[in-house]
Amino acid sequence: MWHQKDKRYMASILIYTVVLSEQPGQKFTAHIEDQDKNVLREWEGDPIEFEKAERWAMFCAVDLEQLGSKDKAQKGMLQTLDLCQSFLSINVHPSHLQRLENIKGWVVNQITQEPKLAQFAKSSTEHLLDWSEQESNNYQAVTLHGKVLIIEEKAVKSPYLVNSASRYIAQIEHSSGAIYKSSEIFMDFVDAEHWLQKTLVELDDPRVAEYYLGNIHFTLNISKHSLPPDIDLVHLARLEYLEMLLDEVLP
């Protein structure tokens, strides 16, 4: 992909040419050119590592693509989402496949399912959590959405701490390696378990709306982890761009 000439590395990304210029200390600056060699984007900070410069270039190329022709922008994003669907495991929960389909609908028409939320009655059926202690202070259970964990952080006994107590971290680990972690640290095991129960039920609902933004990130993270290691990096950049866009537009 990269072609070296002296201390310059060049690659074609989408319809652009990326040029990384090596600086002292094996750091790099970068810029992106169009077909007429006009500089469209240029790294303005201090020189950075090759991998960071490559990631910056990928993201900028996708940004240029998405800010250009609407038809080409949609076609590129839909191509990546189609690819994600094709690589998801046959054992993946159906809600992830449907959520990707709904995300594709959002890419095309920018419409969410937010108005339907008021009419939606959540299922009262909880996911069965059969806890087992795998390691000291580590409790696990298997669900249709992956392995759920509650990790207890024991309080450190100290004469300088008053009313110190254990804290609990809750997260869902998908078999692909993607992790959905609560942003809150709980002071009680029951509260951590309640968050997991609530999140598992919500993961069953594949709609695209602000309320389900965490679920959307989890599905896109599963998609990234499911892509083969030799995948064109532009697809990862598109998913990163899509997540940024959804964070800005949905709230």
Q: How confident is the model at residue 125, as a pLDDT?
A: 65
- 126 within a domain of the structure (yes/no): no
Looking at the 3D structure of the chain, how many domains does it have?
3
Find all residues with CB under 8 Å of 138, minimum gap 6, and list them.
149, 150, 151, 152
pLDDT at position 63, please? 96
Choose one of 203, 223, 240: the last residue of a domain.
203
Q: Are 17 and 39 members of one domain?
A: yes
Q: Determine the average pLDDT of the residues in 34-63.
A: 95
36 vs 161: which has the higher pLDDT: 36
For residue 70, give the amino acid letter: K
Residue 104 counted as domain residue: yes
Asked if 99 and 212 sit in the same domain, the reply is yes
pLDDT band for position 54 (50/70/90)?
very high
CA nearest to 234, candidates 83, 48, 21:
83
User: For residue 235, is pLDDT > 60?
Assistant: yes
Q: Are residues 75 and 109 in the same domain?
A: yes
Query: pTM for the full model?
Result: 0.86
Domain contains 43: yes
Domain assignment present for residue 127? The answer is no
Point out the domain boundary residue: 26, 44, 67. Answer: 67
Give 93: exposed, middle or buried? Use CB within 10 Å, 0-12, 13-18, 19+: buried
One domain for residues 141 and 190: yes
Between the two ends of the chain, the Cα-to-Cα distance in Å is: 38
Same domain, 147 and 197: yes
d(CA 156, CA 239): 41
Query: 209 and 113, same structural domain?
Result: yes
Q: Which domain holds residue 87?
A: 70-120+205-249
Whether residues 138 and 192 fall in one domain: yes
**Position 153 pLDDT exceeds 50:** yes
